[in-house]
Amino acid sequence: MLLPKITTFFNRSLTAKQLKQLHGFILVQGLNHLEGLIIRDLITSQSDYSQSISHYLRLILHHSALPDVDSATSAMRYFCKHGGYHEAFDLYVGLQRSGLSPSTFTVASALKACARIGDGNGGIMIHGQVYKYGFCGDVYVETALVGVYTKLGDMETAHKVFDEMSERNVVSWNSMIDGYLRSGDFATAEVVFSGVPNKDVVSWNSMVSGYSRTGDMEKALKLFDEMPERNLISWNAMISGYIECGKLDLARKFYDSMLQRNTISCITMIGGYSKCGDIVSARKLFSETDRMDHLLYNAMIACYAKNSRPKEALQLFDEMLQTNVNIQPNKMTLATVISACSQLGDLTFGSWIHEHYMNQTGITMDDHLRTALIDLYAKCGSIDKAFKLFHNLQNKDVVAYTAMILGCGINGKQQIAIKLFDEMTESKIRPNLVTFSGLLTALSHVGMVEESYHRFNSMKRYGLVPTPNHFSLMVEILGRAGRLEEAHNLIKSMPMEPDAGVWGALLLACSTHNDVELGEIAAKHCFELEADSSGYGSLLANIYSSVGRWEDAKRLRKSIHEKGLVKVPGSSWMDHLQE
């Protein structure tokens, strides 16, 4: 007779905490079949999305028998809404296993989850079940199916499903437009767009952002002006389009002329400033914002981290946790903060986040975070920890491999670095410019000149054009082996202007091999390219000393000293040398 009493508690908008207590009680009483009601209430409760609810939902779903179909469907929709597409899909699979028949809502949610994950197999499987359950005539289900295929880029099948629909709504049309735009078929997208019976603001927005993504701002602007109705998304699409093609001032003009903005308008703008290194404007915008949230903090912290200002990044992270601010970080925050730690070589703080903070806050690990940690541990010498994390990756992508290759390189495991590189290319993951920087850095620590040449030359095969950084690594490798003339020739063969890094590498090599003639040439270029750095002068002075040219060394050191006191504009150190 306990049962009716308990059920009266439900549907009364209990708080998450109260529901939690109720759940405990139910379990103690052995009334597990009521768990579904708890889930439903958790979902429909007025409380905002919070990590505790989501965490709690996961617990219920993983530890107990599945509830009824409607509750499971509600949970799936809840997960979809908050990005838990994998959970939603798992739930669907669980539903299937326990022999429960899904409703059209269930199937539509599951399809949405597949579309967002990009799970083609899952989508096709459910497509089959749509026929089995006789859901073919349902607009929502069929629209969701179109969504699966457009997101996969399979416009042929999408078109087929769309064609066979007995009834279409504006969402079905919009999905098709979006699909064509994403596959780069603007002509067909235009045709479909003009054929939509009742265009809504989404149809227009899809077109605008389709063009703005590719940087065709003329077309985007034309559509934007023609739109009968605009919303925040239309404006934000214009802002990000202008940022994409480097027109920060125009982006800002749009931003300023918005009557109301949201967080995304602001973080788009901050991201734009971040990309072009304008930390000051980014910070100004950030500080002027009145409604703070974790996205804004993430954007600003990322701006600092990306622009080599790890200290400021950590400071802002600290500010975010202060009780008067009290904004909860998420995975992205932590990934960025860990990257700042590894720039600073701060293993203590970084591993504290890994070992304690994540447990405290219930933030779970993902591959982005793992990769950031791999980089941190590897750069701080804990290569074993890095390896452990590397093996735990769900899927190893080019970024993870690059971090590991570089990590092996700086920890004296060059052979493993090469092995990892080959393993990566064999599994059809394409290396990029950063990967080669990592590999060449690894090789520069040992005298493997031929191996380095081989790898350097192989860049072409991947369609990669070496940057000055790659050349300077090669110069360093040749220089270490004492092949200075060869290094000099490589520099002369560069298709672009060598930078100070390249000449600096040669100068350093000359100083270890006491080569005056080439050293002077290298130093001359360094002075021209980076007149305010005194390090080059010291290197050349060392070369002079090593061959007994004490007078030259003395004169050079003196002028370095003077330069530290009085800055002479336009004066090259070579002028002093050639006196």
Partner DNA sequence: CTAGGGTTAG
Sites of contact with DNA (CB under 7 A): 77, 80, 104-105, 108-109, 112, 115, 140, 143-144, 147, 151, 169, 171-172, 174-175, 178, 200-202, 205-206, 209, 213, 231-233, 236-237, 240, 262-264, 267-268, 271, 274, 295, 298-299, 302, 305-306, 331-332, 335-336, 338-339, 342, 367-369, 371-372, 375, 397-400, 402-403, 406, 432, 434-435, 438
For residues 270 and 522, which CB has a smaller minimum distance to DNA in the complex?
270
For residues 206 and 559, which CB has a smaller minimum distance to DNA in the complex?
206
Written as one letter, the residue type at 564 is G
Shortest spacing between CB 298 and DNA, in angstroms: 5
For residues 8 and 121, which CB has a smaller minimum distance to DNA in the complex?
121
For residues 70 and 530, which CB has a smaller minimum distance to DNA in the complex?
70
For residues 464 and 529, which CB has a smaller minimum distance to DNA in the complex?
464
Asked if residue 313 lies in contact with residue 279, where contact means CB atoms within 8 angstroms, the answer is no
Asked if residue 415 lies in contact with residue 423, where contact means CB atoms within 8 angstroms, the answer is no
Shortest spacing between CB 39 and DNA, in angstroms: 17
Q: How far apart are CA 129 and CA 123, in angstroms?
A: 10
Shortest spacing between CB 173 and DNA, in angstroms: 9
> Cα 485–488–490 angle (5° rounding)?
110
CA 41 to chain centre: 35
Where does residue 496 fall: left (phi above 0), alpha (psi -120 to 50 degrees), or beta otherwise?
A: beta
Shortest spacing between CB 340 and DNA, in angstroms: 8
Residue with the two structure tokens 């700042």 = 340
Shortest spacing between CB 375 and DNA, in angstroms: 4
For residues 143 and 411, which CB has a smaller minimum distance to DNA in the complex?
143
Q: How far apart are CA 372 and CA 76, in angstroms?
A: 30
For residues 140 and 162, which CB has a smaller minimum distance to DNA in the complex?
140
Contacts of 70 (CB under 8 A, 6+ apart): 36, 40, 103
Measured in degrees and rounded to the nearest 5, phi and psi for residue 154 equal -90, 80
For residues 202 and 506, which CB has a smaller minimum distance to DNA in the complex?
202
Asked if residue 217 lies in contact with residue 245, where contact means CB atoms within 8 angstroms, the answer is yes
| Of the candidates 298, 250, 238, 257, the residue with the CA atom closest to the CA atom of residue 274 | 298
Shortest spacing between CB 106 and DNA, in angstroms: 8
Where does residue 429 fall: left (phi above 0), alpha (psi -120 to 50 degrees), or beta otherwise?
A: beta
For residues 155 and 491, which CB has a smaller minimum distance to DNA in the complex?
155
Tokens of 296: 């804004």
Asked if residue 175 lies in contact with residue 143, where contact means CB atoms within 8 angstroms, the answer is yes
Shortest spacing between CB 152 and DNA, in angstroms: 12
Mapped onto helix, strand or coil, the DSSP state of residue 477 is helix
For residues 205 and 411, which CB has a smaller minimum distance to DNA in the complex?
205
What is the dihedral sign for C-alpha 440, 444, 446, 449? positive
Shortest spacing between CB 318 and DNA, in angstroms: 18
Shortest spacing between CB 437 and DNA, in angstroms: 8
For residues 300 and 541, which CB has a smaller minimum distance to DNA in the complex?
300
Q: How far apart are CA 28 and CA 549, in angstroms?
A: 89
CA 507 to chain centre: 37
Residue with the two structure tokens 């394409």 = 430
Contacts of 346 (CB under 8 A, 6+ apart): 314
Shortest spacing between CB 369 and DNA, in angstroms: 7
Where does residue 11 fall: left (phi above 0), alpha (psi -120 to 50 degrees), or beta otherwise?
A: left
Shortest spacing between CB 149 and DNA, in angstroms: 12
| Of the candidates 131, 138, 176, the residue with the CA atom closest to the CA atom of residue 154 | 176
Shortest spacing between CB 294 and DNA, in angstroms: 8
For residues 236 and 444, which CB has a smaller minimum distance to DNA in the complex?
236
Shortest spacing between CB 579 and DNA, in angstroms: 45
Mapped onto helix, strand or coil, the DSSP state of residue 534 is coil
Q: How far apart are CA 541 and CA 513, in angstroms?
A: 14
Q: If you compute the radius of gyration of the chain from its CA atoms, what whole number of angstroms results?
A: 30
Alpha-helix runs per DSSP H in 29-68: 35-44, 51-63
Q: How far apart are CA 245 and CA 231, in angstroms?
A: 22
Written as one letter, the residue type at 30 is G
For residues 54 and 435, which CB has a smaller minimum distance to DNA in the complex?
435
Shortest spacing between CB 199 and DNA, in angstroms: 11
Tokens of 177: 């437009």
For residues 302 and 541, which CB has a smaller minimum distance to DNA in the complex?
302
Alpha-helix runs per DSSP H in 66-185: 69-81, 85-97, 104-117, 120-133, 139-152, 155-164, 170-182
